[in-house]
Structure 1
Amino acid sequence: MLHKSYTVTEAQKKLEQYCAYQERCHEEVIQKLKSLNMIPQAIDTIIGHLLEHNFLNEERFARSFARGKFRIKHWGKIRIVRELKARQISRYNIDAALKEIDNEEYIAAFNELANKQWDFVRESNLLKKKKKVFDFLMRKGFENQLIYTKIAELAGN
C-alpha cells in the first residue's frame, strides 16, 4: 500500500490544524510529521513555521498539560513532572507548569482522593488496606510524605 505524500505546504496546513485542535509538545509534532513521511529538512521548516506563528509553544503546552492532568485525572505533581520529562519538556517549562496548580486546591484534591480510596478499599487487614491506598496514591503521583501523613490520619494512628 502506497502512503500519500505531502508537500511542505500541505503538511504545514495539516499540522496547523493538529496543533490548533489541542496543545502539542514538540515530540508529538515531530512524530506526526514522521508518520506523514516528511524528510528532516521539511520537519525543521514546518516546526519553525509552527513556532513562529505560535501554533507550537512548549511552555503553553506544559501549563495546559499540568492543569488538565491535575483537574481531570487528579494526578499528583510527581506524575505530572515524570510525564512532562518523558515528553522532553525543559526544566524551566516544567517549573512553570507546576505553578498552574494552586497549593490549597492540590491538598484539597489529594485529601478528597485519599478519603474516597480509603472508603472504597474493602480490606479487613489494616496493613493491607494501608498498602493498597498508599500504592494507589503513589501511582497517581503524590508525594510520599503527604501520603504517609494522610494514611496515618485515616488509620487513626
Structure 2
Amino acid sequence: MEFKPVPAKITDPKVGLTKAEHYCAYQERSQQEVRNKLYDWGLYPRDVEQILSTLIENNFLSEERFAKAYVQGKFNQKGWGRIKIKQGLKLKRVPDVLIRKALSIIDTDAYEQALKHTLEKKARLLNEKNAYKRNYKLQQYALNRGFESELVADMLKDLE
C-alpha cells in the first residue's frame, strides 16, 4: 500500500497570504474557492477572513470579475447555455446580482447562433429516422447543455 505524504499545514497568515496571491494571480477565482483553499492549507478561520479581505482590497480577488470570466469561458469554450452557467456560478456561491450582471454580457445573437450550431452538430451525429424521436433527442441534448426550453423549441421549429 502506497502512502501519500501529507502536505505541511500553513499556520502563518503571511505565508498564507503570499500563497493565496499566487493562487489568485494564476486565474480568476471565486471567494468560496479561495476560502476553501485557505482552509485546506490549514489556516485558522480568523486568518482566512483577514486574508480574503486583504486579497479583495489589493484587487487579487473580485467576484464580479470572476463571474464575467466564468460566463465568457463556459459560453465561448464549452458552449454552455445560460441555465447551466447560472447553476455553475451558484455552486461557486456567487451572489445572484452578480450572476445576472455577468450573464448579461452574452450577446443574444451569438447565443442563438451557438444554440443553432449545437443543434445542427448533434443532428448530424444522430441516426434516428423517426422525426419525433429525433426532435426529442435534440431537445434533450440542448436542455442538458443549459439552453432554455422555449428557445430550444423555437429553434427546432426553425430548423425543420
TM interval, short-chain normalised: over 0.9
> What amino acid is aligned across from residue 69 of structure 2 in structure 1?
S
CA deviation after TM superposition for structure 1 residue 12, in Å: 0.7
Point out where structure 1 has 5 or more consecutive residues left out of the alignment: none
CA deviation after TM superposition for structure 1 residue 2, in Å: 5.1
Tell me what 2:9 maps to: 5
TM-score by length of 1: 0.93
Give runs of aligned pairs for residues 134-145 of structure 1, distance below 5 A. 134-145=139-150
Q: Does 1:106 align with 2:111?
A: yes
Q: Does 1:52 align with 2:48?
A: no
Cα distance between partner residues in 1 of 2:124 and 2:9: 55
Tell me what 1:84 maps to: 89
Q: Does 1:61 align with 2:61?
A: no
1:77-119 Cα shifts (integer Å, max 9, x gaps): 1111111112111111111111221111111111111111112
Cα distance between partner residues in 1 of 2:104 and 2:133: 35
Tell me what 2:20 maps to: 15
Q: How many matched pairs?
A: 155
> What amino acid is aligned across from residue 26 of structure 2 in structure 1?
Y
The alignment-based identity, stated in percent, is 34
Alignment equivalent of 1:39, drawn from 44, 54, 59: 44
The SS at the match of 2:154 is helix
Runs of 4+ with deviation above 4 angstroms:
none
Tell me what 1:75 maps to: 80
CA deviation after TM superposition for structure 1 residue 153, in Å: 2.9
Cα distance between partner residues in 2 of 1:32 and 1:2: 15
